[in-house]
Amino acid sequence: MDSFDTRPDRDAEVVLVGRSNVGKSTLMREITGHRFDTGGKPGVTRSPNHYDWTAQDFVITDLPGFGFMSGVEGDRREQIKTAIVQYLETHADKILVGVLVLDGKSAVDIIDRHSGPDEIPYDVEMYHFLRDLDIPTVVAVNKMDKVDDRDERLDDLCDRLGLLPPWKQWQDTIAPIKAKNGQIDALNEAVRTHLHEQQRDDLFQFF
Q: Is the pLDDT of residue 110 over 50?
A: yes
Give residue 138's pLDDT. Answer: 98
Most confident range, picked from 19-23, 81-85, 115-119, 136-140: 136-140
CATH 3.30.110.70 is right for the domain spanning 13-201: no
- At 3, the pLDDT band (50, 70, 90 cuts) reads low
Give residue 21's pLDDT. Answer: 86
Q: Is the pLDDT of residue 42 over 90?
A: no
Q: Is the pLDDT of residue 49 over 90?
A: no
Give residue 1's pLDDT. Answer: 45
Name the DSSP letter for residue 166.
P
Helix or strand or coil: residue 80? helix
Q: Is the pLDDT of residue 56 over 90?
A: no
Q: How far is CA 116 from its chain centroid?
A: 24
- Give the pLDDT mean for 62-81: 82
Distance of alpha carbon 132 from alpha carbon 62, whole angstroms: 20
Distance of alpha carbon 190 from alpha carbon 195, whole angstroms: 9
How many CB atoms neighbour CB 199 within 10 A? 7
| Alpha helix positions (H), 33-120 | 74-91, 107-113
- Give the pLDDT mean for 48-71: 83
The chain-wide mean pLDDT, for the chain, equals: 89
- At 38, the pLDDT band (50, 70, 90 cuts) reads low
